[in-house]
């Protein structure tokens, strides 16, 4: 069954459609979240909350819109909330003081690391990519799919994937030049 049909059934309260969508997306979503939190428990909690929100807001789903974008946006916001919670945890102050020494203050970190701003800028930068570049960038950098698998999935040569990914990264780096520090963390964490 195609995704639009599943979403239409989910809007009507179909539990089997919900389970099918869950099975289709849970592993990719888990990989995405785990890369940032590095905790199985926290990743599980974020995934559970994401799908709980999907179920709770099922009547507002639009079968014509990208379910993937909706799903990953919910997870991203929950992830940001969790990362903020971790940053505000009392032990984080001690850890940062230990790691960074006296030269980097908590105020500097809070003022310079705004993940929501980065996420918004990344979305804008991805809009500057061609549809193929964006697809390859998201598959490789956000879903952690190897180049060989992308080439097979898209029925193109691996070198084409590499070329498109290289062009996409060049555009993303140019667009996010002012956020180079966060971009490097984003690309290294993948």
For residue 190, what pLDDT band results from cuts at 50, 70 and 90? Answer: very low
For residue 90, what pLDDT band results from cuts at 50, 70 and 90? Answer: low
Q: What confidence score (pLDDT) does residue 91 get? A: 55
Residue 101, sorted as left (phi over 0), alpha (psi -120 to 50) or beta, turns out to be left
First CA to last CA across the chain, in angstroms? 31
Note whether 46 and 37 are within 8 A (CB).
yes
Which residue bears the tokens 């997306």? 25
Q: What confidence score (pLDDT) does residue 96 get? A: 53
pLDDT tens digits, 156-183: 998 999 999 889 888 888 877 765 555 5
Q: What confidence score (pLDDT) does residue 143 get? A: 78
pTM listed for this prediction: 0.50
Please give the DSSP secondary-structure letter assigned to residue 14.
-
Please indicate whether residue 116 or residue 163 has the higher confidence score (pLDDT). 163
**Is residue 16 predicted with pLDDT exceeding 90?**
yes
């Amino acid at each position: 069954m195609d995704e639009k049909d599943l979403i239409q059934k989910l809007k009507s309260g179909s539990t089997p459609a919900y389970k099918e969508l869950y099975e289709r997306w849970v592993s990719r979503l888990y990989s995405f979240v785990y890369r940032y939190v590095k905790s199985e428990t926290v990743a599980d909690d974020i995934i559970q909350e994401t799908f709980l929100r999907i179920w709770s807001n099922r009547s507002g789903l639009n079968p014509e819109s990208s379910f993937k974008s909706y799903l990953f946006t919910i997870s991203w916001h929950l992830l940001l909330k969790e990362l903020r919670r971790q940053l505000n945890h009392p032990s984080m102050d001690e850890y940062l003081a230990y790691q960074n020494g006296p030269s980097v203050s908590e105020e500097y970190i809070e003022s310079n690391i705004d993940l929501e701003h980065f996420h918004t800028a990344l979305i804008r930068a991805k809009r500057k990519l061609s549809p193929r570049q964006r697809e390859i960038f998201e598959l490789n950098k956000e879903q952690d799919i190897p180049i060989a698998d992308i080439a097979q999935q898209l029925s193109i040569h691996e070198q084409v994937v590499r070329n498109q990914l290289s062009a996409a990264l060049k555009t993303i780096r140019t667009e996010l030049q002012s956020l180079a520090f966060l971009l490097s963390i984003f690309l290294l964490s993948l």
